[in-house]
Structure 1
Amino acid sequence: MQKKNLAALLAAMFALPVVAHADVTIYGFLSGGIESSKATGSGGSEYSSRTRIVDHNSRIGFKGFEDIGGGTKAIWQVENSLRNFEQGGTNDKGQSATFATRNTFIGLDNGDFGRVLLGQHDSAYKMFTGSSNSALGTDLMVNTTADNFGSSSVNSRGEARMANSVHYFSPSWAGFKLGASWGVDESRVSGNDSKRISLGLGYTWQGLNLAAAWDRQYDTAVIANTNSYNNSSPAVLSLNSGKNVTFYGLAASYKFDTGTFVGGNYEWGTYDQVGGGQVKQDDWLIALGQDFGAASVKLSYGQLGTLKNVGAGVNGDDFKAKQWTLGGTYNLSKTTQVLAYYTKISNNAKAKANFANNPVYDSNLGASNASLTAGNDPQAFGVGFKIAF
């Protein structure tokens, strides 16, 4: 009898943690590949052609909820980057991934009202017109080197993941969704309040997806006659007071019953300059795709336009860039996929557009100030393998 009671007690002790954490979901994916890449053309420092083993934005996450009644759940998520696993977790700027580097938050979720999140999360701009809108799908090779959406890329330069932030995302109301994000500035350098506000609106009907978004970075400016942010030191940051960087985005896509996909993005950015005045720049993208059973072929072209309102002696066309992407995927199962891509960015003389993932640097490689020389053209051809869990 004592042996049976002891066995029952031990079984109960080991069962308790399982019951307490029954609502926890572990999710993510590992994705990597081999590619040939280079960045040449400026006539100066260049990233010579080489073979790279690359990580395609791998991640692992933990999430859960508790039903607190009235149709409301308390929700939480901790998502961690596994990027650069192919070189021990350290990227080409010498940076290492830490815990909770991706969307990590606590919040409340109500089926009628929507979600309120507190922590770190993709902005409403990124969720509606950017790379985080998988339903829109215009970032065709998202998470790979051929991803072309990001603040230093050719398209969707207004998207961001916001730390120290509060977010609201509505449920679908007759196909419409709303989103809002507010990122607070906890450091307040030289009295600046560099908060960030982001708004998004989306509509979905069958295969149609439409989206509009707005994003503003307060007390933020660019160096005169450039699109480069003025953020080198506290003394320089004080010159940003009262100035803003603002983005407006529009996006649309349609998926036909035949498996044909068409979509596009348009973005307009206004940049206040430290010395007064404002420069402006737009970008646009056209994306096409076709499914053939488990396979899909994808093609996109994006362009970063002329920097407008620059001063005398500065050629705004020197800041233009464009990117071609041709890619394909094949689903071996529900969780395993093979992929291939070719992408090339063509930068004009003063443009430094780079890959959103696995960027290339021709100067100070391995150091925090690693950079790409203006006018160099990054390009990559790769094949890869992705396993989700």
Structure 2
Amino acid sequence: MQKKNLAALVASLFIVPVAAHADVTIYGFLSAGIESVKATGNGNSANDYTSRTRVSDYNSRIGFKGNEDLGNGTKAIWQVESSLRNFEQGGQSDNSSTPNATFGTRNTFIGIENADFGKVLLGNNDSAYKVLSGSGNSALGVDILINTTAENFGKSSVNGRGEERLKNSIHWYSPNWAGFKLGASWGVDETRAVDPSNGSATDAKRLSLGLAYNQGGLNLSTAWDRRYDSAVSGDSNSVGTGFSGKNVSLYNIAGSYKFDFGTYIGGYYEWATYDNTKGAQLKQDDWMIALGQDFGAASIKLGYGQLGSLKNVSAASNGDDYKAKQWILGGTYDLSKTTQLIAYYTKITNNAKANANFANDAVYDTGLGTSGAKLTSGNSPQAFGFGMKVAF
């Protein structure tokens, strides 16, 4: 009898956890390629990133998600998503001296979902700006080669400079209302860093709103995002960190249409205003157009994006020096439902004071392997690559 009871107890130790977590879904993908890259043109060959071959990870990830039915159409939901980026070099990126492919680094949250009011999330998640009117909206599709080196949406890239994943944040996303979806995000500032110039605490919170519409092949969207207590210096076209009490506002509109015969056309426009301690409010816009055509399992993609002149710079500066543009030509071929081949060529052309970079697998000509890694202004990155993606 004792042996039978012991056997039953041992068996229960394995059965109970399986039953308790039967709803867990494991998902993700591994993707990488081999490419030829370089970045030159700054006027000083000592700062060139000379042509070389590299193996690049295409934003690989693994995630776990699940839900529990609470009744009356309501569910408790959760997700833990981790980056496997740079798996080709042990999780260490080119702008870090330590591995950064750690647990829970991507969209990770707990929340409630209801068919009538939508879902509320708490944790670390993409903003409504990104999810509904940027690279996070797969139906919109304006980031035509997302997750590859040819991706062009990111806060230091040519387009989609308002995109962000918000730590310490709360989000609401509506259900689908006759094709419309709404979203709102609030990222709180728990740190409240002290401004050394006056001893006051900052409040670097962030608010984000998004609206998307889908009807058949038609997709339209718009979004607004506001960052508090951050600004841009008069000599930079990227968001700075040393100007407390100043704000950045970003707006975008986007649209796309995919015809039944596989032709895709899309467009995106974004504009930003940067409060500036050194003079008038700075302004800069960016735009892009994208085309695509499906041929059975194959798809050809073409995109062009441009970062505009920085307006209201000092009289000693030229706003056109902050302009940049990017060409993207690529294609995919589906070997199966989960395996895809990828090929692309992309080039960013930076003017003298611009340093727009690839959103994924950025190029750094200075300080490789350290947190101070950077691309010299005026250097123009380009890449030609071929890779593979396997989803699970």
TM-score, length-scaled by structure 1: 0.96
Contact 1:39 1:378 in 2 (8 A): yes
Question: For 1:240 and 1:9, how far apart are their aligned partners in 2?
Answer: 60
Residue aligning to 2:217: 207
Aligned partner letter, 2:305 = G
Question: For 2:118 and 2:108, how far apart are their aligned partners in 1?
Answer: 18
Question: For 2:327 and 2:81, how far apart are their aligned partners in 1?
Answer: 31
Residue aligning to 2:319: 316
Q: Secondary structure at the match of 1:153?
A: coil
Select the residue among 225, 236, 239 that pairs with 1:226. 236
Question: For 1:272 and 1:323, how far apart are their aligned partners in 2?
Answer: 27
Residues 325-378 of structure 1 show CA distances to partners (whole Å, capped at 9, x for unaligned) of 001001111111111010000000000000000000001111110100000010
Between the aligned residues of both structures, percent identity stands at: 69
Residues 124-177 of structure 1 show CA distances to partners (whole Å, capped at 9, x for unaligned) of 000112111111001000000000000000001001000010000001101111
1:93 CA displacement: 1.4
Select the residue among 119, 135, 141 that pairs with 2:139. 135
Residue aligning to 2:52: 50
RMSD (Å) for aligned C-alpha atoms: 1.3
Asked if 1:66 is matched to 2:89, the reply is no
Question: For 1:282 and 1:321, how far apart are their aligned partners in 2?
Answer: 11
Residues 219-250 of structure 1 show CA distances to partners (whole Å, capped at 9, x for unaligned) of 1111124323331xxxxx4x421x21010000
Contact 1:201 1:213 in 2 (8 A): yes
Asked if 1:105 is matched to 2:113, the reply is no
Segment drifting more, 140-149 vs 6-15 = 6-15
Residue aligning to 2:198: none
1:7 CA displacement: 5.1
Residues 285-325 of structure 1 show CA distances to partners (whole Å, capped at 9, x for unaligned) of 00000000011000000000011111212110000000000
Question: For 1:373 and 1:226, how far apart are their aligned partners in 2?
Answer: 12
Contact 1:269 1:281 in 2 (8 A): yes
Counterparts of 1:235-246 in structure 2, within 5 Å, are: 237=242, 239-241=243-245, 243-246=246-249
Unaligned stretches of 5+ residues in structure 2: 195-200
Residue aligning to 2:149: 145
Q: Secondary structure at the match of 1:240?
A: coil
Question: For 1:2 and 1:244, how far apart are their aligned partners in 2?
Answer: 70
Residues 21-60 of structure 1 show CA distances to partners (whole Å, capped at 9, x for unaligned) of 1011110000011000000111220111000001000000
Asked if 1:162 is matched to 2:166, the reply is yes
Asked if 1:260 is matched to 2:270, the reply is no
Residue aligning to 1:328: 331
Question: For 1:2 and 1:368, how far apart are their aligned partners in 2?
Answer: 61
Unaligned stretches of 5+ residues in structure 1: 232-236
Residue aligning to 2:206: 196
Q: Secondary structure at the match of 1:16?
A: helix
Residue aligning to 2:197: none
Residues 266-299 of structure 1 show CA distances to partners (whole Å, capped at 9, x for unaligned) of 0011011122421100000000000000110000
1:2 CA displacement: 7.3
Question: For 2:210 and 2:14, how far apart are their aligned partners in 1?
Answer: 46
Question: For 2:5 and 2:80, how far apart are their aligned partners in 1?
Answer: 39
1:10 CA displacement: 4.0
Question: For 2:284 and 2:277, how far apart are their aligned partners in 1?
Answer: 17
Select the residue among 59, 77, 85 that pairs with 1:83. 85
TM-score, length-scaled by structure 2: 0.95
Aligned partner letter, 1:386 = K
Q: May I ask how many residue pairs the two structures share in their alignment? A: 382
Aligned partner letter, 1:79 = E
Contact 1:214 1:247 in 2 (8 A): yes
Q: Secondary structure at the match of 1:51?
A: strand
